[in-house]
Structure 1
Amino acid sequence: MWTRSFLILHGVENRRPAGHWQHDLALDLRAAGEQVFYPQLPDPDRPSLAAWTEAVLAELALMRGEKVVVCHSLASTAWLHVAAAAPAAADRVLLVSPPGPAAFDWDAIAGFDPAGLDLGSLKLAAETPRLACSDDDPYCVEGAADVYGRPLGCDVDIVPGAGHISLDDGYGPWPSALAWCLDPAERLAPNR
């Protein structure tokens, strides 16, 4: 019987490449005997909020025990829409590098813009959500701690100089992401 399960959700144009911190996280959690769901979300190059929400809700229905959700990039804002439709559908949530307001000018992701949501009233998880973001993310030039962290009431970990916290930024293995998954008291830190 599973006492907890993990749902790892990727961003736009992501096909879960080997070496990405989320791919490594899924492997490491499975090696530790954890139940892990790491789906390829529909049409990652031209994503649809409705299709992603449907896929996420289907994965959540399969999870057992404590439900822990780890979102990167566009999946973070997708989770905001999921939470608006299904409040506290997870026990713990980690949002990593959500795109900022200016990023939604890109038509491929415009439908995920959370501007119409009342962030202060969203219940992302049963426990206080965690936000990990960089101080130099090119996809959130406004600063994720200000745009999302404060309004959502997140515990915020700023990872200095980490860009978008992606494979291109040197985030293959990210030990502190694994540490947080296994113990929510752990803080997210640079992988260097």
Structure 2
Amino acid sequence: MKKVYIIQGRGGKPEHGWYQWLAEELKRKGFQVFLPQMPNTDMPTINEWVGALRSIAPTPDEETYFVGHSIGCQTILRYLVTLPPETKLNNVILVAPWVSLDEKTMAEEPGSIPIARPWIETPIDFDKAKLHPKKFICLFSDNDTYVPPDNQKFFQEKLSAEIIIDKGKGHFDKDSGIKELPGILSFFN
């Protein structure tokens, strides 16, 4: 059976924004959907979140898809590095992924820099991560105040990802008012 794991961003809950909408759309298409509440969502740590994903998705296969949002993308990439090299997956969709963040925006949010710093400074082995998915799709917005545009080129080069740039979607979070992402449905087949 085809499975999808949707991993939210920092401060996110399964019922926020577009997560629940995507889960319902995919269930209608016959997918088994996992939309877990990640631990300690306001202060996410690499070990805690990657460990949680490993326990939620212990044996992914070619019928397994992953969707991440913001820090959830980082979680998925770090999780992929832990998989045996022969593990093959279906598509991995990364919504507002980042390896760097806009420092001015981060400075305006108390506590954001100490939370983000380990995620930014702890390297990801992209060569290992890209062994597994059939394809990476990265969805960016042209007005995301958190994710600088240079992340687009980075993910295209490091993961050979298909890059999609939506107009006016902000950070694809509840504050941006995004309730649906119909453009990504075509990547689930």
Same fold (TM over 0.5): yes
Which bin holds the TM-score, normalised by the shorter protein? 0.7 to 0.9
Deviation at 1:16, TM superposition (A): 2.0
Deviations 1:56-97 (A, max 9, x none): 112222657600001111011112211222255632200110
Structure 1: which 5+ residue stretches go unaligned?
Answer: 184-192
Match of 2:168 among 150, 161, 165: 161
Residue 83, structure 1, aligned to residue 80, structure 2:
yes
Seen in structure 2, the aligned counterparts of structure 1 residues 89 and 42 have a Cα distance that, compared at 3 Å, is farther
Seen in structure 2, the aligned counterparts of structure 1 residues 34 and 121 have a Cα distance that, compared at 3 Å, is closer
Seen in structure 2, the aligned counterparts of structure 1 residues 96 and 82 have a Cα distance that, compared at 3 Å, is same
Contact conserved, 1:77 with 1:114, CA < 8 A, in 2?
Answer: no
Moved more, 98-107 or 162-171: 98-107
Contact conserved, 1:89 with 1:125, CA < 8 A, in 2?
Answer: yes
Moved more, 29-38 or 95-104: 95-104
Q: Counterpart of 1:134?
A: 141
Q: Counterpart of 2:52?
A: 55
Aligned length in residues: 179
Identity %: 24
Seen in structure 2, the aligned counterparts of structure 1 residues 58 and 115 have a Cα distance that, compared at 3 Å, is closer
Deviation at 1:171, TM superposition (A): 1.4
1:100-179 to 2 correspondences below 5 Å: 100-102=99-101, 106-113=113-120, 116-120=123-127, 122-123=129-130, 125-179=132-186
Deviation at 1:34, TM superposition (A): 1.7
One-letter code aligned to 1:50:
N
The CA distance in 2 between the partners of 1:89 and 1:112, in whole Å, is: 25
Contact conserved, 1:101 with 1:142, CA < 8 A, in 2?
Answer: no
One-letter code aligned to 2:39:
P
Seen in structure 2, the aligned counterparts of structure 1 residues 161 and 111 have a Cα distance that, compared at 3 Å, is same
Deviation at 1:10, TM superposition (A): 0.4
* CA RMSD between the two structures: 2.4
One-letter code aligned to 1:156:
I
Q: Counterpart of 2:3?
A: 5
Deviation at 1:122, TM superposition (A): 3.2
Seen in structure 2, the aligned counterparts of structure 1 residues 45 and 141 have a Cα distance that, compared at 3 Å, is same
Structure 2-normalised TM-score?
A: 0.82
